[in-house]
Amino acid sequence: MPNIERRDFLKLVGAGGVGVGAGYVLRESIKHPKENLIPHIVAPEEYSSGIATWYNSVCSMCSSGCGISVRTREGRAKKIEGNPLHPVSQGKLCAIGQSGLQVLYNPDRLTGPLVQNGVRGSDSFAQISWEEGLSSVANRLELLNAAGRGDRVAFLSEGMSGHLAQLLELFMEQMGSDRLLHYDFDHPHSLYAAHQQFFGEKLLPYYDLKNARYLLSFGADFLGSWISPVHHSIGFGHSREGLSGARGRFVQIEPRMSVTGAAADEWIAAKPGTEGILALGIAHHLVASGYYQGDDRNEWAVALADYSENVVAGKTGIPVETITRLADTFASSEPSLAIGGGSAGNHSNGVETLVAVNALNYLVGNLGKPGGLVFNPAAAGQASQPHQASLRDMLALAEDARQGQIEVLVINGVNPVFTMPNGTEFGEALAQIPLIVSLSSFMDETAALADVILPSHTYLESWGDSFPEPGVGIPTGSISQPVVAPLYNTKATGDTVLELSQRLSFNEAIPWHDMEGCLKEGWRKIFSQRGGRAQAGGFDLFWRELCKAGAWGEEARFEGTYALDKAVIAGIGVQDPEFSGSADDYPFILHPYLSMALHDGSAANLPWMQELPDPMTSVVYGSWVEINPSTAKKLGLVEGDLVDIESIEGSIRAPVYVYPAIMPDVVAMPIGQGHTKFGRYAENRGVNPIEILSSRVEEHSGGFASSATRIKITPTGDRVEIVKTGGNSRELGREIVQTTGESAGTSAKLNSIPITTVQT
Amino acid sequence: MSILDRFAESWRKYRKPGYYDEFDYHWTMSIDLDRCTGCGACETACQAENNLPIVGEKAFSQGREVKWLRIERYWEGEYPDAKLRFMPMLCQHCDSAPCETVCPVTATYHNQDGLNTQVYNRCIGTRSCAVYCPYEVRYFNYIDHKWDSPLDQQLNPDVTVREKGVMEKCTFCIQRIRQAKDEAKDDGRRRVRDGEVQPACVQTCATGAMVFGDRKDPKSKVSKSINGPRAYRVLDELNTDSSVIYLKKVEA
């Protein structure tokens, strides 16, 4: 129901009382008179006043693909929870996922199509109708198509896995362009490349954290930001107390303690970029001490000859005893699992590092076993995963734009001007493109450069689907459905593309009229191929059940065997990491990490997330630089001192936070703040560390080596008060958070809490 | 009998040990610190469910944030042996609550389910309860908070929006408890089944660190979880008899 201002309401009452001319007053005062006067003579289906209706859908706040249940009351979304039926989220959800409501109800949403009527970046936009917007874009595409220059159209979209991805592919195929780029800042390119190198297939396995007894995590912030934090958290909770008889243990190896590091039993700081060398040191011990008894152990011994514990200790800064202890425990705890990613994969040697981590899994023999590395069966519903654009691809796009090779760029759901380093001059490259069309729901840094904005629905207003990648060991898919009527004059991305297709007469290849129809046909195919239990009622029943459940899965597992190519073993080795900037001029290594609340900056416009204290520092509403206490002392810095952080690419200014768990020569900064445009909650708040990162490309994967920038720190003499939740960060003997040894878990001690019982 | 005498009599009865045994439920939460990762999902769930205001950066810097549930963090040791321990802190729903005795208008009292409740309409804003609370989990509305339209469309219609001058705090999501009781009654049951009601924070906790239920039911999940060697109460020496029981973090 649209808003009624109190004044308008009085007018209504007055008019009603008089009984004459009501129609006139109504028409003048509000736009939809009938809806307001008598809201529901016949209430819509699924609507009963005072009773909540829940819709199952999919979260789009990151790429994990968690199933959600949205509680609605009287047509408004009230709360988002995890969908208990969904194999990824299992009824649980993270903080960002729950804030999706503030995407839907964000006061800074674009309410209709806009056209830039000044110079780009001047923030001068005029409202237009959808007809005008769509036809102006379609006309330009038509012209290019007719002239055989359809390949000069590029489509830059957020990562996606469902039928929308296929629709975009079809559309671009019809245009005759292969410039369809799916781009996510945090896509683990090096992990995919490492798996391809090791296992021959560019598909991530399922990491069975739930059943692992001993876990070595090389830089993977799996409880915070890596791949699927909610699903990993469920597994972690289970491994802590759920395993019969023993508590699962895990070791986190990273230069700066992340949320995951805080939950670990042991946090080990290896020199940045040497995580893979440490993995090979452990592998060396596994082979040399005879833990590994495979037929190819001689090949392994040869490949690992250069990684004896002493050499590795020298390179990583980790004592020999620790390396052998980790290796011994890893070999003797069954099942044990090694995972790698995050900052460890974002170095110049990222792929080599993650291949080395895979070697540990191979040597300990956990492949395909519970508590190990479980291969995923092929995803349902699509032939292959859409190609994810790496930094190399993005740089190529920018270069093409500079060369005048791109005449139209459509941007959907991504903000590359914010997430690309300044050194890439991505925004400047975009300026060379004659027509930029943005499908953004918000005026962000990239949308501000667009000529035409055709704003999309939010995910809570659209039809869609997703197939979680990496999967959870079984084929699974989920439906995303509108939970509320669209708030504004916006269109679902799929519908916009379909309308453009119609105008361009792509009807033969793209026959659908709306996204719902496109989805239904896609799922009809899945149903006919692998319908399973709902077969009896036909597709209509299957579809209804699917929309109700929000999720679909099969009891199929990966079937196949795995043999390691001997050439892979011979090629194993990790180069020393390279950094941009000399160690003399830039003594510190910058460790940028994804914020728990703001993700890669895409959640910075949500006030709940701005007010969610950072788990490690409790800071809200700003940026900070984490510095080791001894380094801070040496530089004479205390919390709140403003410093300049300078790399070869530029300089930013932020206050110091003295962080007890970071290496002395590493400095960490959260990504997420520093928006110049993105609505009232995000704008002009903090700084964006991506700006000063050198745009180093990881050689094997083309990914962004975002942890490979050196910086220097210069105090400015100014101070600010860091806004954070109060309280002393030390217990001072108050015994608030109490701890116990591992053995206490089995001893029967009395506890002081009386449990009174009543007969029921 | 004068009003004062009547008051004193009911007060004596109220403070008598065993007073709560007569009632149907004793809602209790257990929080396993060995599983808590400090991710903050519970904080956001609480904010969404209970219409907690967005106070803004300025009010936040003045310590006027409203977080019925917050994550406390305590560092231990120095680099490289530094550890960070998390603790979700919320109203402990003490059976001997210091805040209840001090309210001049009985705006905060103990209800028959073992909940420490806050009656917003009675509260006159003396803030005495916040001073007496050793856990610092009571939050005062120093200003009338606004939701930029249309953010207000998200507000949960089952929960009051509090105004200036009123104290507020965690309710164990009493609206959910009420609903579960109503549903049990509609089903012809006398009691709510274990697991039928979960506060928003417990519902969303991915690691399963939080468990909620009725302590009077010995078979309930929460009774089992607090009946082990790791269970303890925060600031137990104050004899507040809190209903939030923590399980010690395991450290090798």
SS3 B115: coil
pLDDT band at A538 (very low <50, low <70, confident <90, very high): confident
Residue of A nearest to B235 (CA): A736
Structural domains in chain A, CATH included, are 6-37 (no CATH), 205-374 (3.40.228.10), 588-719 (2.40.40.20)
pLDDT band per the 50, 70, 90 thresholds, residue B71: very high
pLDDT in tens, B97-143: 999 999 999 999 998 888 999 999 999 999 999 999 999 999 999 99
* Calpha distance B184→B195 (Å, rounded): 12
Q: Above 80 in pLDDT, residue B178?
A: yes
In chain A, positions 240-279, which contact chain B (CB-CB < 8 Å)?
240-241, 247, 249, 257, 259-260, 262-263, 265-267, 269
Q: What is the pLDDT of residue A46?
A: 67
Chain A hits for B64, CB-CB cut-off 8 Å, are none
B16 within a domain of the structure (yes/no): no
User: How much is the mean pLDDT over chain B?
Assistant: 92
What is the per-residue pLDDT for A35? 47
CA–CA distance, A747 with A431 (Å, rounded to integer): 69
Residues of B with Cβ-Cβ distance to A269 under 8 angstroms: 80
The β-bridge relationship of strands A153-157 and B244-247 is unpaired
Give the list of residues 6+ apart from residue B41 with CB closer than 8 angstroms, or none.
A92, A93, A94, A95, A98, B204, B205, B206
Tokens of A23: 């129609």
Mutation site for B-interface testing, chosen from A755, A756, A759, A760 by largest number of B Cβ within 10 Å: A755
User: Residue B9 falls within a domain, yes or no?
Assistant: no
Q: Is A715 on the interface with B (CB under 8 A)?
A: no
Question: pLDDT at position A751, please?
Answer: 44
Q: Is the pLDDT of residue B21 over 80?
A: no
What pLDDT shows up at residue A759?
38
Instruction: Answer whether A611 sits within 8 Å of B200, measured CB to CB.
Output: no
Pairwise CB contact (< 8 Å): A757 & B49 = no
| Confidence (pLDDT) at A39 | 54
Q: Which residues of A48-68 are buried (b: 16+ CB within 10 A; e: fewer)?
A: eeeebebbbbbbbbbbbbbbb
Residue B208 is assigned to a structural domain of this protein:
yes
Cβ A77–B154 below 8 Å, yes or no?
A: yes
Is B1 among the domain residues? no
Partner-chain contact A237 B248, CB within 8 Å: no
Nearest by CB to B151, which of A74, A102, A223? A102
Which two structure tokens, joined as six digits, stand for A460?
A: 């809570």
Share of chain B above pLDDT 90, in %: 84
Give the span between the Cα atoms of A717 and A81, in whole angstroms. 46
How much of chain A, in percent, has pLDDT values that exceed 90? Answer: 75
Q: In terms of DSSP H, where are the helices of chain B?
A: 3-15, 41-49, 57-61, 98-102, 128-132, 174-186, 200-204, 221-226
Q: How far apart are CA A112 and CA B176, in angstroms?
A: 38
Contacts of A260 in chain B (CB under 8 A): 37
As given in the structure block, the two tokens for residue A61 are 């706040």
- Domain count of the fold of chain B: 1
Indicate yes or no: CB of B87 within 8 angstroms of CB of A727. Answer: no
DSSP for residue A105: T
> What's the pTM?
0.92
Question: A664–B38: do the CB atoms touch at under 8 Å?
Answer: no
Q: Give the end-to-end CA distance of chain A in Å, rounded to a whole number.
A: 46
CB contact (8 A) between residue B151 and residue A79: no
Give the least confident one: A152-166, A542-556, A613-627: A542-556
Beta carbons of A370 and A382 less than 8 angstroms apart? no
Distance from CA of B107 to the nearest CA of A (A): 27
Residues 2-31 of A with CB under 8 A from B: 3
Spatial CB neighbours of A516, under 8 Å, sequence gap ≥ 6: A463
**Confidence check: pLDDT of B158 > 80:** yes
- Average pLDDT, integer, range A658-666: 97
Q: How confident is the model at residue A40 (pLDDT cuts 50, 70, 90)?
A: low
**Cβ neighbours around B163 below 10 Å, total:** 11
The answer to whether the CB atoms of B44 and A608 lie below 8 A apart is yes
Q: CATH code at B72?
A: 3.30.70.20
Residue B14 placed within a domain: no
Full domain range(s) for residue B61: 23-246
Mean pLDDT of A425-434: 95
**Nearest residue, CB atoms, B226 vs list A77, A738, A753:** A753
Order of strands across the sheet that contains A76-82: A53-58, A67-73, A76-82
Nearest by Cα to B97 from B19, B7, B156, B192: B19
CB contact under 8 Å between B84 and A616, yes or no, is yes
Chain B residue closest in CA terms to A222: B37
B47: in domain: yes
Mean pLDDT computed over A250-272: 96
Distance from CA of B70 to the nearest CA of A (A): 9
Q: Which residue has the higher pLDDT, A52 or A396?
A: A396
Hey, is B109 helix, strand or coil?
Answer: strand
Contact between chains at B150 and A680 (C-beta distance less than 8 A)? no
Domain annotation covers residue B18: no
pLDDT at A537: 76
Mean pLDDT of chain A: 89
In angstroms, the separation between the Cα of residue B3 and the nearest Cα of chain A is: 33
- ipTM, 2 dp: 0.94
Instruction: Quote the percentage of chain A above a pLDDT of 70.
Output: 89
pLDDT at position A38, please? Answer: 52
Residue A364, pLDDT score:
95
B231: CB partners within 8 A, 6+ apart: A751, A753, B30, B225, B245, B246, B247, B248
A717 Cβ contact partners less than 8 Å away, ≥ 6 residues apart: A642
- Asked, for residue B7, whether it belongs to a domain, the answer is no
